[in-house]
Amino acid sequence: MIQMYHVDKQYPGGAYGVSDVSMTLDRGEFAFLTGPSGAGKTTLLRLLFGAEHPTSGQILVAGRNVSRLSSGSVASLRCEIGVIFQDFKLLGNRSVFENVAIGLEIAGATRREARVRVWSMLKRLGLGHRMDDLPRSLSGGEQQRVAIARALVHDPLILLADEPTGNLDPDLALDIMDIIADAHARGTTVLVATHDPGLLDRYRHRRLVLEKGCLLADTYPDTQPGRVRWAASTLR
Amino acid sequence: MTRPGRRWRRFLSALRFGVRGVRAAPLVFVASVGTMSAGLVLLAAYLLLMLNMHAVLEHFGRDLRVVAFLEAGAEPAAPELASLREWLEADAAVAEVVYVAPAEALERLRADLGREAGVLDSLERNPLPGSFEVRLQPGSRTPEHLRVIAARLQREPAIHEVRYGEDWVEGYARVLRAVDGVGLGLGALLLIVLCAIVSGTIRLAVHAREHEIQIQRLVGADGWFVRLPFCLEGSLQGAAAAGLALTVLWGLFKVGVPLVRAPLALVLGPRDPVFFGVGEVGLLLALGVALGLVGALLSMVRLEESS
Ligand SMILES: Nc1ncnc2c1ncn2[C@@H]1O[C@H](COP(=O)(O)OP(=O)(O)O)[C@@H](O)[C@H]1O
Ligand SMILES: [Mg+2]
pLDDT value for A222: 63
Assess contact for B161 and B128: CB atoms under 8 A. Answer: no
Q: Which domains does chain A have, with CATH numbers?
A: 1-80+191-236 (3.40.50.300)
A·B CB contacts under 8 A: 69
ipTM of the shown complex: 0.86
DSSP B270: T
For residue A12, count other CB atoms closer than 10 A to its CB.
Answer: 5
The pLDDT of residue A231 is above 60: no
User: How far lies A119's CA from each of A34, A82, A116, A123, B32, in Å?
Assistant: 33, 18, 5, 6, 35
Residues of chain B with pLDDT under 70: 1-3, 57-63, 138-139, 172, 176, 202, 205, 267-270, 303-307
Q: Which of A8, A10, A11 to mutate to test the pocket of ligand 1 (most atoms within 8 A of CB)?
A: A11
Written as one letter, the residue type at B291 is L
Ligand found nearest the CA of A35: 1
pLDDT value for B7: 85
Written as one letter, the residue type at B195 is C
Inter-chain CB proximity A106 and B13 less than 8 Å:
yes
CA dist., res. B16 & res. A113, Å (int): 16
Angle, helices B26-63/B223-259, rounded to nearest 10 degrees: 50
The pLDDT of residue A235 is above 60: no
Helix count and strand count (H, E) for chain B = 9, 4
Q: Which domains does chain B have, with CATH numbers?
A: 3-60+170-306 (no CATH), 65-163 (3.30.70.3040)
Assess contact for A48 and A2: CB atoms under 8 A. Answer: yes
**A79 interfacial to chain B (CB closer than 8 Å):** yes
Which percentage of chain A shows pLDDT scores above 90?
69
Judging contacts by C-beta atoms under 8 Å, the chain A residues touching residue B220 are 75-79, 81, 103, 106-107
Of A164, A161, A162, A181, give the one whose Cα is nearest residue A173.
Answer: A164
Assess contact for B260 and A145: CB atoms under 8 A. Answer: no
Written as one letter, the residue type at B50 is M
Kindly give the pairing relationship between strand A30-34 and strand A56-61: unpaired
Looking at chain A, which residue has its C-alpha nearest residue B215?
Answer: A89
Of B191, B300, B289, give the one whose Cα is nearest residue B235.
Answer: B289
In a 3-state reduction of DSSP, which class is residue B12? helix
Atom of ligand 1 nearest to the CA of A46: 17
For residue A38, count other CB atoms closer than 10 A to its CB.
Answer: 15
Question: pLDDT for A42-56, tens place per residue?
Answer: 999 999 999 999 999
DSSP A14: S
Looking at chain B, which residue has its C-alpha nearest residue A107?
Answer: B10
CA dist., res. A90 & res. A107, Å (int): 18
Pocket of ligand 1 (CB under 6 A): A 11, 13, 15, 17, 35, 37-43
Question: pLDDT for A54-84, tens place per residue?
Answer: 999 999 999 999 988 888 889 989 999 999 9
CA–centroid distance, B301 to ligand 2, in Å, is 31
Written as one letter, the residue type at A194 is T
Of B152, B155, B129, give the one whose Cα is nearest residue B69.
Answer: B129
- What is the strand order of the sheet A56-61 is part of? A16-25, A2-10, A56-61, A64-65
Kindly give the pairing relationship between strand A189-193 and strand A158-162: parallel
The pLDDT of residue A217 is above 60: yes
CA dist., res. A106 & res. A74, Å (int): 13
